[in-house]
Structure 1
């Protein structure tokens, strides 16, 4: 094969990007179904229709691949700030797509592994929690309030989507939105600041 016969660099980069995306997609499905401990690199490679060595090339290890999958799974997260909390409460009680459900299952099925648990915690704190804390009004322990809001969000989704809590899946669940809205606002607002008070 001569230099003239080789595909252009742009085509090779596109192939590499497509291969990487296929591995991430397959890994997300396998990790969600089996959790960190139950997922094997060979199984992920088969699902992505790639050589196992490509996982090492693009992600370094199973742990590196899991870390990227986690960042993707947690990417679309609710902003639970006073101006968005009515919408957030409604989404938590009556919305959320398959990606949110899968992200929760990925978390639950991987949490028993100490390293996987640390990876998930670090991802949340580095990305979602930091963004949420920066958007909250007031300077009083925004990081702590963001952590509590994320815990409320996780708890509602766990009860509703995984445990199938009856009240949270009832046809008239809309009646519960004001309660959750108030709870989110109570945490999102700095102490001593009313929900109606405009943000500076």
Structure 2
């Protein structure tokens, strides 16, 4: 048999990793555009070019799929510790990446559903807040990490989604030292807890 002879067509085996990734990508786009309540499994399956039953096979349910999408959307979290806050402030005021804005849209469009809100809160607390708290010096790290995340989300909401004029001005870099100071005020150990007089 020569090398030029075409091979016999065999049914293609499904690549489960690629299928799972396609479903996650389609779900992320759909949940971001329509929120938890507006996103349907049929639409997600159609966008991913898969049978709807595969979503149940890989993720169990719409909730399970949403939970994985949320973990991915919140995965790129910045460290807002004293040694990183200058970079964090600069990124929050001048960054142009699309992913953080998409994560915020996913959050806002899904938050009205109590179960979706619980999934998102648990993801933030289990992943981002936990990592940040472990990296912060001093007492009450969990509470301070929650405050830092709230500051971050507020700046992103006003700048990227609402298009706040001052936060999108040509000279926005002048505000970086103020935001840096605000982040440090929460991330640094307060003077009364340092043990110095």
**Residue 31 (structure 1) aligned with residue 31 (structure 2):** yes
**Residue 101 (structure 1) aligned with residue 101 (structure 2):** yes
Q: Which residue of 2 aligns with 1:187?
A: 186
Q: Which residue of 1 aligns with 2:154?
A: 155
Moved more, 89-98 or 44-53: 89-98
Deviation at 1:192, TM superposition (A): 1.3
Rg comparison, structure with higher value: 2
- Unmatched tracts of structure 1, length 5 or more: 195-200
**TM-score when scaled to structure 1?**
0.89
SS class of match (2:79): coil
- Unmatched tracts of structure 2, length 5 or more: 1-9
* 131 and 193 in structure 1: CA distance in 2 versus 1, 3 angstrom threshold: farther
Aligned positions, number? 186
Deviation at 1:117, TM superposition (A): 0.3
**C-alpha root-mean-square deviation of aligned residues, in Å?**
1.9
Moved more, 121-130 or 89-98: 89-98
Q: Which residue of 2 aligns with 1:48?
A: 48
Stretches of 4+ aligned residues off by more than 3 angstroms: none
CA displacement, residues 16-67 of structure 1 (integer Å, 9 cap, x when unaligned): 0000000000000000000000000000000000000000000000000000
Within a 5 Å distance, the mapping from 1:18-167 to structure 2 comes to 18-138=18-138, 140-167=139-166
Q: What is the alpha-carbon distance in structure 2 between the residues aligned to residue 38 and residue 167 of structure 1?
A: 33
